Amino acid sequence: MKLPGKDALRERLAARKPAPQGAKYASSPLLAAKTPIWRSRFLVVGVGLTFCLLIGRAVYIQVINQDFFQRQGESRYQRTLTLPASRGRITDRGGQVLAASVPAQSIWVIPKDFDATPAQQQALAKLLGMSSSDLGNRLKENANFVWLRRVVEDSVAAQIKAMALNGVHQQREYRREYPEGEAVAHLVGFTNVEQLGQEGIELAFQKDLDGRDGSRSVVRDRLGNVIEDIGDRIEPADGHDIALSIDTKIQFVAYQRLRDAVAQHNAKAGSAVVLDAQTGEVLALANYPSYVPGDRLTRTGANLRNRALTDTFEPGSTMKPFIAALAMQTGRVTPTSIIQTAPGTITITGSTIRDSHAYGALTVRQVIQKSSNVGAVKMAMQMQPKEMWDLFHAVGFGQKPPLAFPGLATGRLRPYKSWRPIEQATMSYGYGLSTSLFQLARAYSVFARDGDLVPVSLLRQAGPVAGESVFRPEVVREVRTMLNMAAGEGGTAPKAQAVGYSVGGKTGTAHKQDGANYASNKYRAWFVGMAPIHAPRIIVAVMVDEPSNGIYFGGDVAAPVFSQVVQQTLRVMGVAPDLEIKQQIIARAQAAKAEVESF
């Protein structure tokens, strides 16, 4: 095929007609329509505003709120770890540890990283003391962090670590240990898992015992492993140690003898308090039943009650020495004054008060020795109600003891203006008012000293302390003689005698209230006394609640506990015996033989 030449192409092009001027290339009316000017402006403004918003957001993030977003970013990899402080120790007067914190591991998990076979999960649950279903439910609580068990035993922590489960981690904390166990439980108390005091000294001295935690900033990977430290490390500050006035040897003796007495007499409970008569220090404070501070299962309501401090009772005949002392202090009687108690009863405004025996004429000394209700009432009714109230208040009844301890009981001492004659009469032998065992022990310090009420303390004291004067020294010496008679042959508590040491004290046997009335077969047995009687070093108070094996008098139930505690306590304190031991043993053996023969 022959292509056309250049001349032919020119001819063809020349033959074409030129396009007319102003011709439209777009035949569509839509394409031919002219765009409104507002639409293009709107588009430009919209794009401009979008860029302004983006720039403003960038300025806000990078400049204005930089710290917040920096923290949020760092929180994805940076952690501040708590360095727990060790809680202060609690010790007895000789440095024996009663409570201390020891390192322990706590187990935690990142549920989203947790990876374990069913067998491994079951083994983990068993080590933690929970079921597999409980563990599964725990893992659903939070995807990022869940405590599995706080402060586990070292052996448990080691076994869990050996399992090497993904997402399971351990953190070092502290566990509270109580070496002396239930013997000191009511005094020392316990803490919760956060090492915060809940009862006893642990609660009373929380601020002193509690330390200040430190901190450590670290970088962690997604598995929770620490990669490096960043920033400054703040070291923890451990809590302060607390040295108590308690002697663990005396405390254990008091607890053991009290426990044995409760079991022997099939009683409901019991309490004992031992005070240093010279310094006011609490040498022992025991209750039974008790609990193991580190065992939650034993911390039930009845076991937790610190009965010596929190429970109040009508003190019974232990109040009679105060009435005799007040009568002598005011000159109404002398130790040898005769009081006619025959026929063994006395009627006050229609109510009859009785003695256990018809004693007839008694001296004031014998009134205390024989524990005559009639004799005490006759002395009390010579007094004005205000005089008795002032005395009771002066020795601490009706008010909390000045002791740094939670839950102290106030007791009951009604205003004297509301007393009826029969109430004044019954208060002389311990009915119509109430007190705790600790209040009663402290009140007896006026007889163990030169008539002054000793300030008490749970912390060790440097030496003897001054008290508030209540009685004259010569009155107190006479009362001690009466207490010595009450605890000897012919008195209500010969079983209070201690081998090698002279003692004195007073029994109390009080009916328990059952609602508005007194239960006919429920009693509390008391004995409060001191030794050696002529220069007392200790005051011991014992209470046994509801002895139910047929023996319930304070001289038979509480006095033997007093005797045993006195002997051991004075030996621990290094107090030399003030009686001829051999003669005393023979005398007690003869008395026991005579008692057996009388049956």
Q: Are 303 and 284 in contact (CB under 8 A)?
A: no
Q: How far apart are alpha carbons 290 and 299 in whole angstroms?
A: 8
Q: How far apart are alpha carbons 378 and 340 in whole angstroms?
A: 9
Q: Are 270 and 544 in contact (CB under 8 A)?
A: yes
- Give the contacts of 373 (CB within 8 A, at least 6 positions apart): 317, 346, 353, 354, 355, 429
Task: Give me the active site residues, please.
Answer: 317
Burial of 22 (C-beta count, 10 Å sphere; 0-12/13-18/19+):
exposed
Which residue in 189, 116, 101 sits closest to 148, CA to CA? 116
Percent helix, strand, coil in the chain, to 5, is 40, 25, 35
Which residue in 126, 105, 235 sits closest to 170, CA to CA? 105
Which residue in 291, 48, 276, 85 sits closest to 174, CA to CA? 85
What the block records as the tokens of 292 is 């193991």
Alpha helices, H only, 395-450 = 421-427, 437-443, 445-448
Q: How far apart are alpha carbons 331 and 324 in whole angstroms?
A: 11
**Residue found by looking up tokens 């911390």 in the block:** 299
Which three-class secondary structure string do you get for 158-208? HHHHHHCCECEEEEEEEEEECCCHHHHHHHHCCECCCCCECCHHHHHCHHH
Give SS3 for 40: helix
* 363 phi/psi in degrees, rounded to 5: -75, 170
Which residue in 523, 516, 524, 561 sits closest to 542, CA to CA? 561
Q: Cα angle vertex 436, ends 435, 439, to 5°?
A: 85
What the block records as the tokens of 462 is 């440097």
Q: Are 430 and 319 in contact (CB under 8 A)?
A: yes
- Give the contacts of 356 (CB within 8 A, at least 6 positions apart): 371
Q: Are 292 and 560 in contact (CB under 8 A)?
A: no
